[in-house]
Structure 1
Amino acid sequence: MRILQVISTFYPALAFGGPVKVAYNICMELTRRGHDVEVFTTNAYDQTRNFEPISREQIINGFKVTYFNNKLRFSNLFISSEMITTLCKRFREFDVIHTHFGRQTYDIVVSLCSRKYTIPYILQAHGSLPRIGSWRRLKWFYDVLFGYRVLRNASRVIALSHVEADQYRRMGVPEEKIAIVPNGIDLSEYANLPSQGAFKKKFGIPEDKKVILYLGRIHRIKGIDLLIKAYAYLIEKVGNKDAVLVIAGPDDGYLNDAKALAYSLRVSDSVMFVGPLYGKDKLAAYVDSDIYVLPSRYEIWGLTILEAYACGKPVIASNVGGPKDLVLDNETGLLFETGNFRELAERIMHLLNDENKCVEMGKKARKLVEQKYSIENVVKRLENIYSEVTA
């Protein structure tokens, strides 16, 4: 099957978070299964910069990627006239188109070309449906003009969870077009983990210190302020000084505020902002952590939860969206009421004081990700959807 994946940002633009990694893994697994996969994307590198690829067209792990010049951007809206032109010219070459994110100019083109040439397309929003944030009025305007139509014209829409499925329904997508397919991870990346202590040694963390880890975009919606407040509460009210808080990830507009908060709460000496971590460095951070925390105010999935699971680590997460489904409370981790930093502090303290519980949860977490969230299982479900819409 000839499959086109259309996504605004792609490898090596890992600063844009989980969807980039998810799309990359999907392409790799589809290629491994014998499909002819191609990717159309832009050369956006992070929130402010573009990059110059060695070649506009590249073969990566057996699939072709075309990087189009990103001419203009508004927040997470990327505009490439070259991509739009090429989509129109080459649309008929593919059996199915899988478009990612939604509310992009290429989604409009895909929808129009799909109707013209009767070639099906799949749309996967990756949690982008709610009109939240500073651009919510622009999102409403886009939805009224194009968005509702783009969603309804799709042969299928991919929801990561029941929460996102409800969001599609509220946008007017018929029930029979909604398919719930979780994100998965490539477990082969976790077969040979870095040795214990490598991360601590690199960043000067004493061996006897425990590590509370957050890894992801530095954005207020991720609840980083709640985590810093919970950590300060642990030190001041409970007197726990045995752990350091490591916050890793690219700045998405909140880094300075987070550092200022840590300073104002007098915990800046033990809150470490280590910047983005990729590859072996990211795995080393998971390996040396005792607990992974995802305190998001809004989170449709939570790929880092699966990454922590793959490294055998328990997770503490807010009981919202995807994390509420991914974290089996008291089995693979603990949940806390979204926004309640005192409850978060209590959950952290509970696990820090029970090393055996952490180990037990970590083993269950690893088993869960192997059984339900491997990339092989996820892509098999996507394959079935592609076959259904092209039949």
Structure 2
Amino acid sequence: MKILQVTPFFKPLWESGGVARVAYDISHTLHESGHDVTVYTTNRSIYPSDLPTNRRVDVDGMNVYYFENLRKYCPMEAAPVLPYYMPAVARREMNQFDLVHIHDHRTMLTVIASHYARKCGVPYVLQAHGALPQDTGSRRMKRLFDQLWSKEVILGASGVIALNETEAECYRALGVAEEKNAIFPNGNDPAEHSDLPARGRFRAAWGIDGAARVVLYLGRLDPTKGIDLLIRSFAEVAREFDDAVLMLVGGDMGHNDEFRQRVRSLNLDDRVVFTGFVSKEDKMAAYTDADVFVTPSFTGFPMTFLEACLCGTPIVTTGQGDLLEWVDNTVGFTTEYTPEAFAGAIGRLLDDDVLRARFGEQAKELVRTRYNWQAIVRDIEGFYADVANKGRDRSLPAGAGSGLPGQNL
């Protein structure tokens, strides 16, 4: 099949979050399976990049367009992704594809790609990656986007991909027919991490004693992730374990000053380490050196959970946001969203070497057998084929579909 993948960010912009990683892994696995893959994405997320823009380049055998992102000129904290040159390319190329897979539904890439897919009669699959609810992140921007475009984008899809049953129910509530709905979890490639870093490397780099008990958070340092709850929970953990250290690994999303102030107010300056964004190699070293991996709140299916499992690091999370049923009492604990409950689960793991080891081995086995990309993408391929066959029968004739406000597409 000739497949177009549309994603706000792509390799090497890993700092943008899990969507870039998932879009790359799916795309590359499809390419390795013999499909002709093209990617529409942008050149900038949080940090500047020197990627070639507005032209096709080869990335690991795939055709990739890094469209110049006008977001960098916007002073807004949650500025939209604005690929001004994308319509020219989409207008020229869209009818070449058998299917389009759109990642993350509230972007201008999504609006442009879905418009041209409908106009050219090309079926598209939409994957929201846990972002359907309006009650997280920039609610005002989400409400505005939804009023303008979301219904058309979502209901115009020939198929949708949910990461879990919670997200599938969100699609149903928006009016997506049951036969269009499919659930596919995120995955990982165990072979890619066959040589994990030796334990102690990350600790040594940050001056942490080899015998200390390390609690790790890795991801965007954003209030929606429950960082404030984590810091308050760690204050209780620190009172019980005088050698415990909390490592906050991830890029500053504009809230680090308030998080540091919370740390200071709890007298935890010497017990909490902010590392900033780290490389892929250092990230895996951080998982390996951690005793417990924590994420208070999430939506969708975080890649960080699978990466922690690959390294045999048990997980503590909560039922705030989405819920992954395979975590609790298998690879870690799912608790109530309170400092007391979260701290209690962390403390239980830090205090029980045997339990940590058991959860760690079960976590490794789960990734090897259930959550590997080869198996998941085989299922996605089957869904693609079904959507492509049915979607072209249902597609609007050429020229149908509405345009974008203020643009002659």
Q: TM-score range by the shorter chain?
A: over 0.9
Question: 2:325 maps to which residue?
Answer: 325
Cα distance 1:259–1:35, how it changes in 2: closer, same or farther (>3 A)?
same
TM-aligned CA deviation for residue 276 of structure 1: 1.1
SS in 1 for 2:216: strand
Question: 1:77 maps to which residue?
Answer: 80
Question: 1:276 maps to which residue?
Answer: 277
SS in 2 for 1:381: helix
Any stretches of 5+ residues in structure 2 without a counterpart? 390-409
Letter in 1 for 2:168: A
> 1:161–1:321: 8 Å Cα contact kept in structure 2?
no
Alpha-carbon distance between aligned partners in 2 of 1:93 and 1:325, rounded to the nearest angstrom: 40
Question: 2:43 maps to which residue?
Answer: 43
Segment drifting more, 306-315 vs 135-144? 135-144
Question: 1:342 maps to which residue?
Answer: 340
The root-mean-square deviation of aligned C-alpha atoms, in Å, is: 1.6
Summarize deviations over 1:278-334 as a string: whole Å, max 9, x none: 2211111111111111111x422221111100111111111245443241x222101
Match of 2:160 among 141, 157, 160: 157
Cα distance 1:253–1:182, how it changes in 2: closer, same or farther (>3 A)?
same
Question: 2:370 maps to which residue?
Answer: 372
User: Structure 2-normalised TM-score?
Assistant: 0.90
TM-aligned CA deviation for residue 58 of structure 1: 2.3
Match of 1:234 among 234, 237, 251: 237
TM-aligned CA deviation for residue 77 of structure 1: 2.1
Alpha-carbon distance between aligned partners in 2 of 1:54 and 1:139, rounded to the nearest angstrom: 30
SS in 1 for 2:263: helix
Summarize deviations over 1:252-292 as a string: whole Å, max 9, x none: 12211111111110011110011112221111111111111
TM-aligned CA deviation for residue 187 of structure 1: 1.4
Question: 1:68 maps to which residue?
Answer: 67
Letter in 2 for 1:372: R
Question: 2:358 maps to which residue?
Answer: 360
Paired residues for 1:1-391 under 5 Å:
1-46=1-46, 49-54=47-52, 56-72=55-71, 75=78, 77-133=80-136, 135-236=138-239, 238=240, 240-296=241-297, 298-327=298-327, 329-338=328-337, 340-391=338-389
> 1:317–1:323: 8 Å Cα contact kept in structure 2?
no
> 2:166–2:323: 8 Å Cα contact kept in structure 1?
no
Letter in 2 for 1:42: T
**Greater relative contact order: 1 or 2 (C-alpha under 8 angstroms, separation 6 or more)?**
2
Summarize deviations over 1:129-168 as a string: whole Å, max 9, x none: 1113464233223323321111111000111111111111
Letter in 2 for 1:6: V
SS in 2 for 1:59: strand
Percent identity over the alignment is: 38
Summarize deviations over 1:181-233 as a string: whole Å, max 9, x none: 11111212220001111111111111111111000000011111111111111
> 1:301–1:321: 8 Å Cα contact kept in structure 2?
no
Aligned residue pairs, count: 384
Alpha-carbon distance between aligned partners in 2 of 1:323 and 1:313, rounded to the nearest angstrom: 19
Alpha-carbon distance between aligned partners in 2 of 1:195 and 1:210, rounded to the nearest angstrom: 17
> 1:318–1:324: 8 Å Cα contact kept in structure 2?
no
> 1:69–1:82: 8 Å Cα contact kept in structure 2?
yes
Letter in 1 for 2:214: V
User: Structure 1-normalised TM-score?
Assistant: 0.94
Cα distance 1:80–1:129, how it changes in 2: closer, same or farther (>3 A)?
same
SS in 2 for 1:365: helix
Any stretches of 5+ residues in structure 1 without a counterpart? none
> 1:302–1:322: 8 Å Cα contact kept in structure 2?
no
> 1:5–1:99: 8 Å Cα contact kept in structure 2?
yes
